[in-house]
């Protein structure tokens, strides 16, 4: 039996309400503060260091994002890799179950909209909020760079930085979908927040260790050829790429360090095999894009799969308390 009417009826009102709620909420202010504190520190330090650079660098502006300052030991990108999930989880962990607990869900769903519209509107509202926050942060960093470095960024640099912003939003979208999935599964907002944060910590702290120990256990006693070593290395990388954080950092590395050609610890080995390349020569922008295409696709695919899972569970859920 087919149902009639567009599943998108009402997405607009839900989206605008969610966006307005997020932007005016205290939670958003706290998250923004968090991001600024975490982001400003590495940026300020790297700016300080970059001002003393005298050598010519075609991509000086992009170094703001990727330079690891001597004193702080954390790049802006690494900070974001850590902070974006927190922001996304903060925005999404109670999106559906709070409606349930406030008993607004059945009243809203008795209006002429499908559940599809409610979930999609909420997701897009959260994503837009995230995008607004990241865009603001990005502009602040850009502005600070302009003021303190006194060097205008080149066109390619702006394009690369914009690409970085898009990847960051996609990365946030993955974690937003994760937290919304938990908010659909668990009735208690505390449980859903805990699960989302637990998964985040798992991927950040535990997964690198787990992945390397899995890879180690599969390794032969002795490598007999470079191919074998490469295959082993690729397997380890594939495991690491299960974590969205890895995909994000690889994609960002290729965008912001135009010299990046391959990822991983054994990049020299890869490079040795690709003949005719000039080491440390920057790649053109479109080549960098080609390089990170799988990573970006992976992020978007993860976002869609997680959202679809949340959607299926939400459709089957009973409305009554």
Where on the chain is the footprint of another protein (CB under 8 A)?
A: 1-5, 9-10, 12-14, 16-17, 21, 102-104, 106-114, 318-321
As a residue count, the chain comes to 321
What is the closest distance, in whole angstroms, from the C-beta atom of residue 223 to another protein in the complex? 56
What is the closest distance, in whole angstroms, from the C-beta atom of residue 68 to another protein in the complex? 42
SS3 content of the chain, % helix, strand, coil (to 5): 75, 0, 25
Own/partner pairs for 153-161, CB < 8 Å, 24+ apart? 153/61, 153/62, 154/58, 154/61, 156/285, 157/59, 157/61, 157/62, 159/285, 160/59, 160/62, 160/255, 160/256, 160/258, 160/285, 160/288, 161/61, 161/62, 161/65, 161/255, 161/256
Report which of 314, 299, 310, 308 is spatially closest to residue 181, judged by C-alpha positions: 310
- When the beta carbons of 5 and 220 are compared against another protein, the nearer one is 5
What is the closest distance, in whole angstroms, from the C-beta atom of residue 85 to another protein in the complex? 26
- When the beta carbons of 10 and 173 are compared against another protein, the nearer one is 10
Query: How many CA atoms, within 13 angstroms, populate the side-chain half-sphere of residue 78?
Result: 12
What is the closest distance, in whole angstroms, from the C-beta atom of residue 310 to another protein in the complex? 19
- When the beta carbons of 16 and 268 are compared against another protein, the nearer one is 16
- When the beta carbons of 22 and 160 are compared against another protein, the nearer one is 22
Report which of 300, 285, 216, 295 is spatially closest to residue 252, judged by C-alpha positions: 295
- When the beta carbons of 1 and 54 are compared against another protein, the nearer one is 1
- When the beta carbons of 6 and 213 are compared against another protein, the nearer one is 6
Report which of 249, 133, 122, 136 is spatially closest to residue 176, judged by C-alpha positions: 122
What is the closest distance, in whole angstroms, from the C-beta atom of residue 95 to another protein in the complex? 13
Report which of 235, 284, 239, 279 is spatially closest to residue 258, judged by C-alpha positions: 284
- When the beta carbons of 114 and 175 are compared against another protein, the nearer one is 114
What is the closest distance, in whole angstroms, from the C-beta atom of residue 109 to another protein in the complex? 6
- When the beta carbons of 108 and 132 are compared against another protein, the nearer one is 108
**Other CB atoms closer than 10 Å to residue 318's CB: what's the count?**
6
What is the closest distance, in whole angstroms, from the C-beta atom of residue 113 to another protein in the complex? 6
Q: CB of 35 within 8 A of CB of 138?
A: no
- Terminal-residue alpha carbon distance, the chain: 27
- When the beta carbons of 68 and 317 are compared against another protein, the nearer one is 317
**Other CB atoms closer than 10 Å to residue 215's CB: what's the count?**
18
What is the closest distance, in whole angstroms, from the C-beta atom of residue 10 to another protein in the complex? 5
What is the closest distance, in whole angstroms, from the C-beta atom of residue 188 to another protein in the complex? 16
């Amino acid at each position: 039996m087919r149902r009639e009417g567009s599943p998108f009826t009402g997405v607009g009102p839900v989206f605008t309400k969610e966006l307005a709620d997020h932007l005016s909420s205290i939670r958003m202010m706290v998250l923004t503060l968090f991001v600024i504190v975490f982001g400003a520190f590495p940026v300020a330090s790297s700016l300080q260091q970059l001002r003393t650079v005298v050598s010519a660098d075609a991509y000086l502006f992009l170094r703001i994002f990727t330079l690891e300052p001597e004193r702080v030991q954390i790049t802006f990108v690494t900070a974001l890799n850590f902070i974006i999930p927190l922001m996304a989880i903060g925005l999404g962990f109670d999106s559906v179950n709070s409606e349930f607990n406030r008993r607004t869900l059945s009243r809203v769903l008795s209006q002429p909209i499908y559940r599809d519209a409610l979930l999609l509107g909420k997701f897009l509202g959260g994503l837009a909020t995230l995008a607004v926050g990241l865009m603001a942060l990005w502009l602040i960093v850009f502005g600070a760079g302009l003021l303190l470095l006194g060097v205008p960024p080149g066109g390619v640099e702006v394009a690369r930085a914009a690409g970085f912003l898009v990847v960051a939003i996609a990365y946030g979208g993955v974690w937003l979908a994760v937290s919304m999935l938990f908010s659909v599964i668990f009735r208690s907002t505390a449980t859903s927040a805990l699960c989302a944060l637990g998964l985040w910590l798992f991927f950040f702290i535990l997964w690198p260790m787990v992945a390397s120990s899995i890879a180690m256990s599969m390794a032969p006693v002795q490598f007999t050829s470079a191919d074998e070593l490469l295959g082993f290395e690729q397997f380890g990388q594939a495991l690491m790429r299960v974590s969205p954080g890895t995909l994000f950092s690889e994609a960002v590395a290729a965008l912001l360090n135009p010299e990046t050609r391959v990822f991983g610890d054994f990049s020299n080995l890869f490079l040795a095999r690709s003949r005719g390349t000039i080491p440390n020569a920057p790649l053109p922008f479109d080549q960098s894009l080609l390089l990170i295409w799988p990573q970006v696709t992976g992020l978007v695919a993860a976002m869609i799969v997680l959202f679809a899972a949340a959607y299926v569970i939400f459709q089957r859920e009973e409305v009554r308390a």
